[in-house]
């Protein structure tokens, strides 16, 4: 009960696969959606039961994609005439992405030719925290970054840390720590884990050598 009061949860319904004992997966999506909307209306469902919004109006979609402040990850596209196909990728997702800055604290691969950059941000207590990792760098980008990276000296804030290969993965990365001096600009989506780390890999945009690490947004603060 205490956890429910502190972190209230909601059930967001976006499709209807079974209704009153009837398998609806063979119905076209527009029929399933109509039945789902009718269910919410006839049952008078309200919070914590939430009906996921849906539209066929491109103008409404464009407005939704501006809702970055509420951490809207993006929108999912479905064909109105398609049935529900389990384990088949028949939907498309458009992710909302922004560009922001982060500090390079480590790399995978050798310092002379890094494959990916491990990124960090300072929290409000002044501690450098891990926020995520880039996708694989292009050769020209790797060479440009390598020229600005310095091997870590003693007392690196990530000394002794381990880093997962991906969100939810148990596989650990083999990393080389570097002095947390280099700032880079990356493209990210808004999906975060409970600790504020980016759930998906960041896309490298450019080196921001003119920026001091303390100019990078703090962990948990708006970008």
- Checking if the pLDDT of 97 tops 90, the result is no
- Checking if the pLDDT of 107 tops 90, the result is yes
The token pair at 210 is 């003119």
- Residue 223 domain flag: no
Same domain, residue pair 77 and 154: no
Tell me the DSSP string of 136-167.
Answer: PPPHHHHHHHHTT--B--TT-TTTT---BSST
- Residue 154 domain flag: yes
Same domain, residue pair 106 and 39: no
pLDDT at residue number 116:
97
Same domain, residue pair 42 and 109: no
pLDDT at residue number 164:
87
Q: Which position has the higher pLDDT, 211 or 87?
A: 211
Same domain, residue pair 137 and 151: yes
Same domain, residue pair 189 and 105: yes
Same domain, residue pair 50 and 143: no
- Where residue 201 sits, what CATH number does that domain have? 2.40.50.140
Count of domains for the chain: 2
pLDDT, tens digit, 9 for 90 and up, residues 178-220? 999 999 999 998 777 777 888 889 999 999 999 999 999 988 7
Mean pLDDT calculated for residue range 89-96: 82
Residue pair 217/208 in contact (Cβ under 8 Å)? The answer is no
In this structure, the number of other CB atoms found within 10 A of the CB of residue 28 comes to: 14
Which is it for strands 11-13 and 49-51: parallel, antiparallel or unpaired?
Answer: parallel
CA dihedral 38, 39, 40, 43 (to 10 degrees): 120
Same domain, residue pair 34 and 86: yes
- Checking if the pLDDT of 72 tops 70, the result is yes
Q: In whole angstroms, what is the distance from residue 116 CA to residue 138 CA? A: 9
Is pTM beyond 0.85? Reply is no
Element (H, E) at 60: helix 58-64
Same domain, residue pair 101 and 86: no
- Residue 222 domain flag: no
**Mean pLDDT value across the chain:** 90
Q: Lowest-pLDDT range, 19-33, 93-107, 133-147? A: 93-107
pLDDT, tens digit, 9 for 90 and up, residues 124-155? 899 999 999 999 999 999 999 999 999 998 78
Q: Which position has the higher pLDDT, 3 or 161?
A: 161
pLDDT at residue number 169:
73
Same domain, residue pair 23 and 117: no
Mean pLDDT calculated for residue range 55-71: 81
- Residue 27 domain flag: yes
Question: Of 51, 72, 95, which closes a domain?
Answer: 95
- CB proximity list for 83: less than 8 A, separation 6 or greater: 25, 26, 27, 28, 29
Mean pLDDT calculated for residue range 48-77: 84
Same domain, residue pair 6 and 104: no
- Checking if the pLDDT of 13 tops 90, the result is yes
**Domain hosting residue 17, numbered range:** 2-95
Same domain, residue pair 20 and 64: yes
pLDDT at residue number 222:
64
- Residue 25 domain flag: yes
Same domain, residue pair 80 and 47: yes
């Amino acid at each position: 009960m205490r956890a429910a009061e502190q972190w209230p949860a909601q059930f967001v319904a976006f499709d209807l696969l079974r209704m009153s004992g009837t398998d609806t997966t063979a119905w076209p999506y527009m029929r399933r959606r109509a039945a789902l909307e009718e269910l919410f209306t006839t049952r008078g469902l309200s919070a914590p039961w939430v009906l996921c919004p849906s539209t066929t109006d491109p103008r409404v979609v464009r407005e939704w994609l501006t809702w970055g402040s509420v951490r809207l990850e993006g929108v999912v596209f479905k064909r109105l005439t398609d049935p529900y196909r389990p384990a088949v990728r028949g939907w498309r997702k458009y992710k909302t992405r922004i560009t922001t800055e982060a500090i390079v604290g480590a790399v995978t691969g050798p310092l002379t030719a890094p494959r990916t950059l491990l990124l960090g941000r300072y929290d409000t207590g002044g501690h450098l925290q891990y926020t995520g990792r880039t996708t694989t760098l292009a050769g020209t980008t790797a060479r440009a970054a390598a020229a600005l990276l310095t091997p870590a000296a003693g007392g690196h804030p990530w000394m002794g840390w381990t880093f997962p290969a991906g969100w939810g993965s148990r596989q650990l990365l083999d990393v080389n720590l570097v002095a947390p001096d280099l700032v880079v600009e990356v493209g990210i989506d808004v999906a975060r884990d409970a600790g504020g780390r980016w759930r998906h890999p960041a896309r490298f945009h450019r080196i921001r050598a003119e920026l001091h690490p303390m100019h990078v947004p703090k962990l948990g603060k708006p970008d």
